[in-house]
Amino acid sequence: MAEADPIVSIASAESRYFNRELSWLTFNQRVLEEASNIAHPLLERLRFLSISGNNLDEFFMVRVAGLKDQQLEGVDLRSVDGLTPAEQLEAIAERVNDLMAEQQRVWHELRDQLRKTGIGVLDLEAVDARTEKWLQAHFQEQVFPVITPQALDPAHPFPFIPNKGLSLFFDLVRQSDNEVVQELVILPATLPRFVRVPGKAARYIAIETLVRRYSHLLFPGFTVRDSGLFRILRDSDIEIEEEAEDLVRYYRSAIKQRRRGRIIRLEMEIRVAEPVEAMLQTLMQGHDAITVDIDGFMGIGDLAGIVEEDRPDLKFPAFVPRLPERIREYGGDCFAAIKAKDIVIHHPYESFDVVIAFLKQAAADPDVVAIKQTLYRAGKQSAIVRALIDAAEAGKSVTAVVELKARFDEEQNLLWASQLERAGVQVVYGFVDWKTHAKISMVVRREGGAFRTYCHFGTGNYHPITARIYTDLSFFTADPRAGRDAAQIFNYITGYVEPQHMELLTMSPLSLRKRLVDLIDAEIEHARAGRPAAIWAKMNSLVDPAIIEKLYAASNAGVEIDLIVRGICCLRPGVPGMSDHIRVISIVGRFLEHSRIWAFGNGEVLPNNRAKVFISSADWMPRNFDRRVEYMLPIETPTVHDQVLDQVLLANLLDNEQSWSLGPDGRYTRLTAKDKPFNLHKYFMTNPSLSGRGAALKTSDAVPKLSLRERP
């Protein structure tokens, strides 16, 4: 928030809000904690460790890069809690150092435990002759031809090192004349970080260890005096210039520039001498970079390579998503099932294949005349894109809104856009300043003498891979009101035709913030009138200061507020006189909680059938309200309403095995199960949904009933 923001003064900002960046680091700490959770199988714990490493890399490449830019340009724009960029960077550095030290401690612990299960990571200690022979042959045949040593002297320009690139510095002495020579070896990303040694036992060796081990083959006639590993992270954000006339051309150029972005972070092995470190900084023009000495494994995210080891005994039990019964009852005819009644699919417990089948059926159905689809992140092997191409080639009118500004997916989205256009799809890139983040698909079908519109609204991306590990909702409907609203949203994106009257949907950046404020105000009025007043809301991040202040006002009016915020939360719960009635939990477990669901009591105690329930593509952040195209959709169909409120939201609140409670001081405390353990993810893996059950719902004990726990 800028200093002039009237919502709250800087003097009181720190007491009312948590810092966004520090809150994110606290979230990543919770992810890291799962790597020490003995309830998880060993390789899954290693997966959590690698995720914490990848998360931290992205945090530096985007968030820290932005703060560093502001600091270097002398910008004193304060955060919502009143800190300048320089103050935030100082606080971040302290937290990150502790986080990285904990990552190394956890890695040493896991490595020792993995060794006992037959999975080892080799160091430079002696190995048996057979292994030595294989390693040397592998180096000479698979590594030596790929790497290129380069002398560091005036005759050789310093090479470009890519983002997240690992490099080895060698300090050598030529044996013929004792001259000191310094060499650099960039370890290409095309080489896997770990090499698996053949054999029943899983033995891995890191690529840098292999190169060091056989450096005498790389530098014959030299003696290695010392070597050091280092790694860089570059500024990877892309900023849209207002004068950009062609978004496609601009992004193709910007992606190339990002690869050469300014160095934000320089990681050096702790063994590297200070003069060498200073020399490398100079050669890489990284004087403004944040330099960190690493005592341990560098590039924690790369440990994911070991997680792929085929050891099902060390991973979560395999889980096969269910196909909704109603789809099967209609012989796989998605349109017939949706026409009969609205349906919600709960991913990953219910298969994302239903979404793909919906579009495949639309592509093949001769009665379908048009398809409109948003694509934010579709993945590298997208059946969704294939279905759209098939539909266009079949002569249907197909429109795809491809979001070029989806961070780190820009290049893939450009490739998809090119393929779609070649197939005859009308490709639209949306707005220059706003991202199209809404997940909407609409199919127009000729039925009898009229057209019927079928819609899909998702809380997550059209991404078959992430749909296996992200918890999201897919809502299908043939409600004409939803179809008319969806058509208006697409017209707004493609032709800037602002909707005049929305019957069901609310969208940002036009009116979503106001609608949300009105809903909170309604609960405040219920509380003031002496009626029950409650808000349950699930999201990924809560940052927006205006909404936070409105929630504080609701708490002071007596509204009971339960928030499930997986990641960033800038709201301070449980502060006397400010947020007494607000509780915040974060759930971190086998699946990534990703759905956005909001419920308002509407004058009765939650859960209740009169509650107003919504799903959305938006988090409660300024960007979602002001700079993105998002949707919010009311859930009115009784069975869907029951599932979203009485199953999904309630189960989130009941979880006490994967949940963390946020305190007014910013600390998260893991909940304890006590005598009634409840695991949200295990529940949905073993219990079918209420929506889409078809005839199965006639069985009285088909779905166990959940009840709200007594408050501690």
Work out the pLDDT band at 675, boundaries 50, 70, 90.
Answer: confident
Could you tell me if residue 319 is inside a domain? Answer: no
Instruction: Check whether 96 has a pLDDT greater than 90.
Output: yes
| Residue 412 confidence (pLDDT) above 80 | no
With 90 as the cut, is the pLDDT of residue 26 above it?
A: yes
CA distance 388 to 361: 11
Domain containing residue 49: CATH number: 1.20.58.310
**In a domain? residue 167:** yes
Within a domain: residue 451? yes
Task: State the CATH number of the domain containing residue 669.
Answer: 3.30.870.10
In this structure, the answer to whether residues 276 and 127 fall within a common structural domain is yes
Are 123 and 106 found together in one domain?
no
Shared domain for 157 and 258, answered yes or no, is yes
Domain finish residue from 71, 88, 112: 112
- Report how many domains make up the chain: 4
What's the pLDDT at 243? Answer: 42
One domain, residues 445 and 554: no
Residue 235 in any domain: the answer is: yes
| Segment 234-243 mean pLDDT | 59
Residue 291 lies in a domain: yes
Using omega within 30 degrees of 0 as the cis cutoff, is the peptide bond preceding 149 cis? no
Instruction: Please indicate, yes or no, whether residues 450 and 592 belong to a single structural domain of this protein.
Output: no
Q: Does the pLDDT at position 237 exceed 90?
A: no
Nearest to 22 by CA among 77, 97, 91: 91
Across residues 143-169, what is the average pLDDT? 90
* Rounded Cα gap, residues 351 and 467, in angstroms: 8
317's tokens:
């039990």
Considering the domain boundaries, does residue 709 fall inside one?
no
Region 354-358 average pLDDT:
95
pLDDT bucket at 7, cuts 50 / 70 / 90 = very low
Instruction: For residue 647, count CB atoms less than 10 angstroms from its CB and return exposed for 0-12, middle for 13-18, buried for 19 or more.
Output: buried
- Which alpha helices (DSSP H) does 274-409 contain, by range? 274-283, 304-307, 325-329, 334-340, 353-364, 383-393
Mean pLDDT score, 564-577: 96
437: Cα separation from own chain's centroid: 14
pLDDT at 245: 42
At which of 504, 535, 556 does a domain end?
Answer: 504
Would you say residue 3 lies in a domain?
no
Task: Say if residue 331 is in the same domain as residue 470.
Answer: yes
For position 294, which CATH number holds? Answer: 3.30.1840.10
287 and 384 housed in the same domain: no
Q: Are residues 363 and 373 in contact, defined by beta-carbon separation less than 8 angstroms?
A: no
Find the domain containing 95 and state its range. 10-112
Q: Do 346 and 362 fall within a single domain?
A: yes
Q: Annotated catalytic residue: which of 40, 347, 437, 594?
A: 437
User: With bands split at pLDDT 50, 70 and 90, how would you rate the model's confidence at 3?
Assistant: very low
pTM of the model: 0.91
pLDDT tens digits, 586-632: 999 999 999 999 999 999 988 888 999 999 999 999 999 999 999 99
Q: Are 498 and 528 contained in the same domain?
A: no
Q: What is the mean pLDDT of residues 16-31?
A: 96
pLDDT band, residue 703 (cuts 50/70/90): low
- On whether both 476 and 404 belong to a single domain, the answer is yes
284-298, 480-494, 527-541: range with lowest mean pLDDT: 284-298
Mark whether 233 and 339 lie in a shared domain: no
φ/ψ (deg, to 5) at 269: -60, 140
Q: Across residues 33-43, what is the average pLDDT?
A: 96
* Mean pLDDT across the chain: 89
Q: What pLDDT does 11 receive?
A: 45
pLDDT at residue number 494: 92
The residue out of 451, 477, 504 marking a domain boundary is 504
The answer as to whether 317 is a domain residue is no
* pLDDT at 702 > cutoff 90: no
For residue 241, is pLDDT > 50? Answer: no
What is the Cα–Cα distance from 362 to 399, expressed in whole angstroms? 13
Which residues fall within 8 angstroms of residue 620, CB to CB, at 6 or more apart?
Answer: 516, 537, 539, 541, 542, 543, 544, 547
Structure tokens at 157: 């320009």
Q: Give the mean pLDDT of 415-441.
A: 88
> What pLDDT was estimated at residue 710?
40
Q: Are residues 238 and 302 in the same domain?
A: yes
Q: Within 13 Å, how many C-alpha atoms sit on residue 337's CB side?
A: 27
Phi first, then psi: give them for residue 661, nearest 5 degrees.
-100, 130
Structure tokens at 200: 């029943």
456 is catalytic: no
pLDDT tens for each residue of 281-337: 887 777 788 889 999 999 999 999 999 999 999 999 999 999 888 898 899 999 999
